[in-house]
Amino acid sequence: MQRIGEAAESSTFERVTLKNASVYHYLKVSLVLENDGTTLSAVELKQLIISALRSLYGEVGAAFPFDLLKYEEETLTAVLRVYSRGLVKLWSSLTLLGSCRNQSCAFRVLQVSPFLLALSGNSRELQLN
C-alpha cells in the first residue's frame, strides 16, 4: 500500500530471447536419382555433398564441416549434422546439386531441426488405426 508522499516502486521486466541457441542443426534429406536402381554407399554420399559444397562455394566450401550421422542405403535417406551458422550454405548446396554419376538427381530436405530428437518422428507420416 502506497502512502501519500512516497514514490511508487517501479517493477522492471526484462525479456531475454536467444536466437539460434543450439550449436548444431540436423537435416533429414533424401536423394532422388533419375535411375531408381542406383545405390550409393555412405562414403559416396558424403563425397557427393562435399562436391556440391565445392561447386557452389569453392575450396573453402569443400572444407566446411558437417557429419553424416545416419544413412539408409536402400532409401537413400540420411541425417546430417551441421553447425547452425552453416545451415544455409549446406542447404543451398544440396538444393543446387543437379547430377550424380552422369544422371539427374535432386536432394529433398525432409526435415530440419536444432534438436535431433525431433527427426525421430514425422507427424505427416503418422498412421492411426
Task: Determine, yes or no, domain membership for 126.
Answer: no
C-alpha cell at 100: 550424380
What CATH number did the domain enclosing 103 receive? 3.30.70.3250
Whether the CA torsion 71, 76, 79, 85 is positive or negative: it is positive
Task: Determine, yes or no, domain membership for 119.
Answer: no
pLDDT of residue 7: 58
pLDDT of residue 69: 96
pLDDT of residue 111: 93
Across the chain, which has 129 residues, the per-10-residue mean pLDDT values are: 60 71 92 88 96 93 92 95 94 93 93 90 72
pLDDT of residue 91: 95
Q: Which domain holds residue 58?
A: 24-114
Sheet holding 103-113: strands in order across? Answer: 66-72, 77-83, 24-33, 103-113, 99-100
- The verdict on pTM exceeding 0.85 is no
pLDDT of residue 72: 96
The total of structural domains in the chain comes to 1
Task: Determine, yes or no, domain membership for 72.
Answer: yes
pLDDT of residue 20: 59
